[in-house]
Amino acid sequence: MYNGPKCLGLTPDSGNDEIIKTAFDFVFGIGYMSFASTAADGKTPTCRGLEVHRLDDCGNMYIGASHGKHFYDEMEKNPRICGVAIDTVAVRISARVRKVCDGKIRARYWELNRGTEKMYRKDLSNFQVYVLERGDGEVFHVYEDDAIARVRFSFGGDAARPWTYTVNSNCTGCGVCAANCMMNVIGIEEGRAVMDHYGCNECGICYESCSCKAVDKNEFVCC
């Protein structure tokens, strides 16, 4: 049984469904996220806070914005966002969004946002609801006892983001990375370095200290 630090009760053994539910419940509890997108020029990062809602029985996350917002234009051009909610624990979600026209979902949105409904009363159709259709995310906790607790998840058919640092077949088991690891999460097993990614700070010291090029730095490729 895992006895190390926990992140919202999650452990390295937690399954994807459990992590998604825990992560989304945490964000719903806060009620909003800071969401980044790419400006219509295709280069400039932009960011804003948006309310998040659960509007169906499947646990999906929904957001909304009016047609006049730059956010709307950005989603027309590149419907990808990245959000973070922080309250001791941090939850990051990267997702592709889809416009929602379903009347029931929109009615539920207004039910939960009477103030917004009042604001848009002259033209409710001006307001666009989106669902975070697919993507990946992470739950991360760093504050307690200098220990890291990190789990990743995916939803809607996407894959979870790969760990940034992994050991490849060049490893000789010399132990230099283990001695230098700031979090003491590298062990040598059967002549090869093994990382515990749940506790890894992704500092890259192992990558920099390995003279055998046996630690890969993996890039995240967006799909």
Does position 200 bind ligand SF4 by CB under 6 A?
yes
- Span near ligand SF4 by CB under 6 A; candidates 9-17, 34-42, 54-62, 209-217: 209-217
Site stretch for ligand SF4 (CB under 6 A), options 74-82, 114-122, 137-145, 200-208: 200-208
Residue 117 or 216 with smaller CB distance to ligand SF4 = 216
Among the listed residues 7, 136, 186, 198, the single contact to ligand SF4 using CB under 6 A: 186
Nearer to ligand SF4, 78 or 172 (CB): 172
Smallest gap, in angstroms, from Cβ of residue 23 to ligand SF4?
A: 22
CB of 147 to ligand SF4, least distance (A): 11
Burial class (CB in 10 A: 0-12, 13-18, 19+), 19: buried
Tokens standing for residue 197: 């990614």
**Structure-block tokens of residue 84:** 């973070």
Q: How many CA atoms lie within 13 A of 52 on its CB side?
A: 24
How far is it, in rounded angstroms, from Cα 52 to Cα 97? 13
Buried b or exposed e, range 5-16, using 16+ CB within 10 angstroms:
bbbbebbeebee
- Contacting residue, 182, 217, 218, 222, with ligand SF4 by CB under 6 A: 182
